[in-house]
Structure 1
Amino acid sequence: MQQLRRRLTTGFVVILTMLGSLLVGTLTAAPAQAATRDGVCDTGEICFYYNSDNSGSISDHGTADLADYGTDPATCYVFRTVGRAGHDQCIKNNAASVWNRTGVQVRVHYNSDFGGTWDTVAAGAKRNLTAAVKNNNASHDVTPLRTETCKNSFGNPRSCAGAVTWANNQVGATGWGGYCDRFVANAYGHANSGSTSAIVHWGQIPSTHRNAGDRSVPAGGLAFFRGGEYGHVMISVGGGTFVSNDIDGYNKISDATIAEVENEWGYTYLGWAQPWFQVNH
């Protein structure tokens, strides 16, 4: 009988030990499985708010790039803080303010696939989004930041690569004094740009195709400046090099950089744009 009791007692202790191990394992595993997108802005996250001044429901994200927030209520990224304005609504074109707790820069884009104008949000910044993307947000990327490529989706006769080849072949040519906007239009196969000047051209390009202040201009992109009466525009051929008229002597086509135009002419760099021309719009 005593042997039976010992066996039962031993078995009971083994069962309790196994149950205890399972409970400890379950309790230990819980934090690792906790949801990261919980509507709370934690350290290491970029957080979008439905309302200005960091109020309303929150959509919190880790440090991965997001190319498209989506628009289908069944699958889109939504604001997750229950009981606040905007809860469960898609965040695309609905974010008004931001808190960047990732520790690095984050860029919020007007278009999907990291396109169009953007707002660069510094690490630790907690503020309203700039007017360019406030309630017009479609994607974001996290440092190291992506560079938008040249996209010839505007019906131009030449492609971005074709325009670059044409421009490079004109280096050393003359006869272009004062015709910067015509030069870049010719690069894309147009007789003229359809605009009266470079500065007018910049203003006519939709903001979705302009990248204000960005100096990482892809080959084929058009770099614009404010200065003088007409401004200036030149075409990127990649690697920080551009082809421009007049910078190496009036009337002549030569290689150039953004810094040369700023330093030699005192012009203000505005940013770069996709090859959009008024002539075919």
Structure 2
Amino acid sequence: MSGRVGRALRAVGVTIAIAVSGVGISATPAQAASRDGVCDSGEFCYYYNSDFAGSISDHGSSLADYGATQPTCYEFKSAGNGQGLCVKNNAASAWNRTGSTIRVYYNSDFGGTSQDIASGAKVNLNASLKNNNASHQPVSAGGGDSYPAKDDYPYRGQTTGVDPWNFYKGQCTSFAAWAVRSRLGVAFHNYYDGVHWGNANNWANAARSAGIPVYGSPKAGDVAVRLGGTWGHVAFVTRVNSNGTFEVDEYNYNGGSAYSHRTVSVGTANSQFSQFVRFK
């Protein structure tokens, strides 16, 4: 899988290649040979251009560091726009042909803003990750999913103005929209699927109008909705615990347009959530 290993083998022999693999390159020579610019079954592939056009760079399911310069970087392999360029910060779309959801990260070593790409999906990278891709790895599927708790909101500290998704900055709705976009890879906005989502207490009904399922129990990746209060409240579910409680990332829960992460339960009290919008 590693173009770097392949080049090392050709240039300086097997001894050096083995030494390189001893410091963190996990690809075997057989895997390295399979990086041929063809997106085969079992591979995760980047395209240089949007809409699955341009040169292809095919990979295994996990890679922590693409490298930033030739001749040591992972490069686009096939003919077309971008051939020979480093993959890092140069990809615009992707095809996931592995059996797992793949999470693409803004930083190397699986850090920063991320976008999840379901098994079999062909997607354009979102605005945060397009030409800003630095690592990727599989994430668990189903009820065992979890998302790291993090305050990655791009408008933290701002309490006026409207975000690019047409929600007020610093509000719970703006942060939840950001989380759906950056963590789930769904291009959500205030008029998503032709429906006006509006205040938090309208999100469950808006989801139903848009044909998006709403449940009475949470799953990681859901948007949790509290219906009570003047405006309601929404938060992003990061984890469901074995005892039935769940954890959320949120903004403006206690006012002040601030981030918080807490463990909560299903219910109708002001500290709880009763509806769960499932975008994925």
TM-score by length of 1: 0.48
Highest Rg: 1 or 2?
A: 1
The structure richer in helix per residue is 1
Normalised to the residue count of structure 2, the TM-score between the two structures is 0.48
